[in-house]
Chains A and B, each alone.
Chain A
Amino acid sequence: MIPVRKSVGPALAALALLSIQTTGGPLGGTGAEPSSGDPELGRRIYREGRLPSGAEVQAELGSVRVSGDAFTCAACHRPSGYGSEEGATPVPPITGEALLAPRRLDRAEGFRRLYQENQSDPFYARVRDPRLRPGYDLDALDTALRTGRDPAGRILDPWMPRYAFQRDDLEHLAAYLRTLGDGPDPGVELRRIHLATVIGPGVDDRRSRAMLDVMDAFIQRRNLEMEGLRARPGHSPNHRADFAATWRDWKLHVWRLRGPPESWGSQIRDAYRRQPVFALLGGLAEGSWRPIHEQCEALQLPCLFPNTDLPVADSDAGDSTLYLSRGLVGEAEALARHLQKHRPDARVLQVHNEAPRSVAGAEALAHALGDRVETLALESPVDDRTWHRLTAAASPPAPSPPAQVLVAWLWDSGLAQRPLPEDSPIDTVVLSGGLLGTAPTRTSPALSGRVLLTWPFAMPDRSIPRSYRVRAWLRSRGLHADDERLQLDTYFTLSVADHAMRHLVTRFDRRLLIERIEHETENTLSPGVYPRLSLGPGQRFASKVCRVVSLSDGGALTLAP
């Protein structure tokens, strides 16, 4: 029998709830009356720093009076309530389970922090100081928040603000804290974690195969490792058996969508109903990711690094979907910044076709540059006739001003070789690196030094050691580089998810998964598709840099001045 420890979260929470309903309970009031706390009002205090009265929560940090959303509970203890690490300061968990119970020593948790966290020595010193204490009741919570003294009489960290809540507000907050950490979330079984990936209709079979092959190989390898660990739990001198509950296989479900994007949401809901999953990994779809994004937000299902260049880039797009980059919108924004800085007076003629990716780039550039941009929609590929039409559009009849910059949101790398008419006002042609995928190797002599590319990827001449290792991994598993960027991105997604999942230990909470990924992405070695990958609390796009580069004949890229 393999000694797998079951999460005690739900049992403890249920016990706590029972206790509160009958006697008032630890975090639910001290008298015989049941708790009157409203978790929703507590959530506003915790997440938004706003009291039921609508006023901002007030606090003191040292001698400084602070208020507002900068010092919410969720800022430091994170939306999951499981806490975090910041510099030398470990932020402790304040989930219902963590607060109600006396603090206990947990070797798996301590091991994770001591050996799997890349932190400073003072941090490790703090982790080794367990600060044991009895469980909190409502009075103890009130005392800790007001005076900074925990139930053992120890002073809390000076970075913990002091809050003076009214009793009612405290009960609301306590009611919400009890709802935190009540996992495991759906998709987690005792020995197995269910995960899914999504493939939309119309996706090229070679691309979906390239992604799925990497996923299958990674998961097969990972499950073999788990099997090996489970088979020898007692042979470790380092209490490896303490981690037995974390050794769970991954089971990947492939959700293939059909029909129009409007129906994808219901298809995902149906698939989720049949088999709940803990998270979505990667994925491929033609067109905008929005239908899948919205469903993940509705289900609060982590959607990790889908392979799309049409992400949902709205600022209030939710917190369950993490993207590799801002895609075409990011390219358009980078180009707009470049043109604002270096060609502030130039007029821009841009051209797109009917494909969603092409339209998205054009719309984002028009939004960023306003009436400096003239937009042309093409219904057919660029041939001599349409090229003539295009270049003619740059010289409209007076009084309309001529355009000096031509931006093509097209897949046609041959545009770099097309000659411009001698009298054309166009002096710069801009192509999208994200749409082309690779830099054109030739430019026409007339355009020499005047072709720019928006380039969201790492510069080709930059050597990234990690990429050699991942390529070797792919080769050793017989995976050919059919679509190398897709394969490297997929490998990154899986390795980040694996890394974060190991940090969960047995806390299978989706919000915590997202928080660990936000925290650790910067530490995860990037396989080199993008210049750099990092996230932070609340950040949704791992690659934030898109360069505008100059293309020379022969395909060499240099940063545009």
Chain B
Amino acid sequence: MAVVGALACLLCAPVTGQEGDPHRHHRLPSGPPPDAQYTRTALNVTVPDVPVVDAAGRSLRLHRLLDRPEPLLLQFVFTTCPGVCPALSAMLSSTQRQLGEERSRVPMVSITIDPEHDTPERLATYAQRFGAEAPWLFLTGELDDVVAVQKAFGAYRGNKMRHEPLTFLRPAPGPRWLRYEGLVDGSILAADALSSEDPAVDEEPTSATTLRR
């Protein structure tokens, strides 16, 4: 456990101490460089086979939904999120515009991390705000199931207000996903999704567990 914690900290911040160290912030850097818009890393994900409901109220299985041959983009958002989620959704909206006629080749999935509040109706309204076009699905479900999915992607932070600006791209079928943290240009996401070569990553592949903080 201690090893995992220490490794997690190493991955999250360049300089840090033990997870439970109350003085660890003294050793943290004074903030990321201003030009650092995003990082791109890789991780292996085992997507849990949980039931989900889309914005049209259809019941689906997440594992089956993601088990498709195309490259796939995924984000965690919630509809009352003040700033980061609208920006994340605007990124995917921009990606769809960049993809143009290729849009149908890149399915997108936005999963709410506030499923008790975000009903299919609320998700449909949210999707409309961002001009979401098929194949872009907005999913909700039972809280425990959504937490399990976030944990599988190393994106669970307990309180939804602690969520981070993450976008995941699965370039090809399999467990390997790319993890973008930060503000990513839609043209980059579109290019990475359609690229026949694997985009360069900032770190070696890892599992979601080691990314937890």
A residues with a Cβ closer than 8 A to B are 61-64, 66, 68-71, 75-76, 78, 84-89, 91, 114, 118-122, 124-129, 154-155, 158-159, 519, 522-523, 532, 534, 536-539, 544-545
Contact = CB atoms under 8 A, between A and B. Distances in A.
B135 to A, nearest CB: 20
B80 A523 contact: no
Interface stretch (B100-108, B162-170, B195-203): B162-170
A57 to B, nearest CB: 13
B80 A536 contact: yes
Contact of A537 (B30, B82, B184): B82
The 8 closest A-B pairs by CB, nearest first: A76-B83, A129-B31, A125-B28, A70-B86, A544-B116, A129-B30, A124-B25, A536-B80
Contacts of A122: 12-13, 28, 32
B43 interface: no
A534 B115 CA distance: 11
B37 A62 contact: yes
Interface stretch (B44-52, B61-69, B87-95): B87-95
Contact of A61 (B114, B143, B158, B183): B183
B157 A158 contact: no
A484 B164 CA distance: 38
14 contacts: A61-B87, A64-B91, A64-B186, A69-B129, A86-B81, A87-B162, A119-B162, A121-B13, A125-B28, A155-B35, A159-B84, A159-B87, A159-B165, A532-B116
B187 A63 contact: yes
Given A76-B82, A118-B162, A125 B29 contact: yes
Given A64-B94, A125-B31, A114 B37 contact: no
B90 A66 contact: yes
A512 to B, nearest CB: 14
A129 B12 CA distance: 18
Contacts of B161: 85-87, 519, 522, 536
B34 to A, nearest CB: 4
Nearest to B19: A121
A126 B78 CA distance: 24
B68 to A, nearest CB: 27
A66 B183 CA distance: 14
Contacts of A78: 82
A509 B37 CA distance: 34
Interface in B96-128: 114, 116-117
A536 B83 contact: no
Contacts of A84: 82
Contacts of B160: 522, 534, 536
Contacts of A69: 129
A537 B81 CA distance: 7
B213 interface: yes
Nearest to B181: A88
A261 B201 CA distance: 65
Task: Specify the main secondary structure of chain B where it touches its partner.
Answer: loop
Contacts of A66: 86-87, 90
Task: Specify the main secondary structure of chain A where it touches its partner.
Answer: mixed
A523 B16 CA distance: 25
Contacts of A114: 25
Interface of B: 9, 12-13, 16, 24-25, 28-32, 34-35, 37, 78, 80-84, 86-87, 90-91, 93-94, 114, 116-117, 129-130, 143, 157-165, 182-187, 213
B162 A126 contact: no
A68 B129 CA distance: 9
A118 B161 CA distance: 10
Contact of B182 (A76, A125, A158): A158
A121 B114 contact: no
A120 B159 contact: no
B12 A120 contact: yes
A522 B159 contact: yes
Given A86-B161, A519-B161, A159 B82 contact: no
A519 B9 CA distance: 25
Nearest to A544: B116
Nearest to A70: B86
Given A68-B129, A120-B164, A154-B34, A536 B25 contact: no
Contact of A64 (B31, B90, B164): B90
Contacts of B80: 536-539
B37 to A, nearest CB: 5
A78 B161 CA distance: 14
Nearest to A121: B13
B82 A121 contact: no
Nearest to A125: B28
A86 B87 CA distance: 12
B32 to A, nearest CB: 7
Nearest to B115: A544
Nearest to A148: B34
A87 B86 contact: no
A87 B25 contact: no
Contacts of A86: 81-84, 161, 163
A87 B32 contact: no
B160 to A, nearest CB: 7
B77 to A, nearest CB: 11
A62 B213 contact: no
A537 B163 CA distance: 14
Given A86-B161, A118-B162, A536-B160, A70 B117 contact: no
Contacts of B182: 158
A254 to B, nearest CB: 33
Contacts of B158: 118
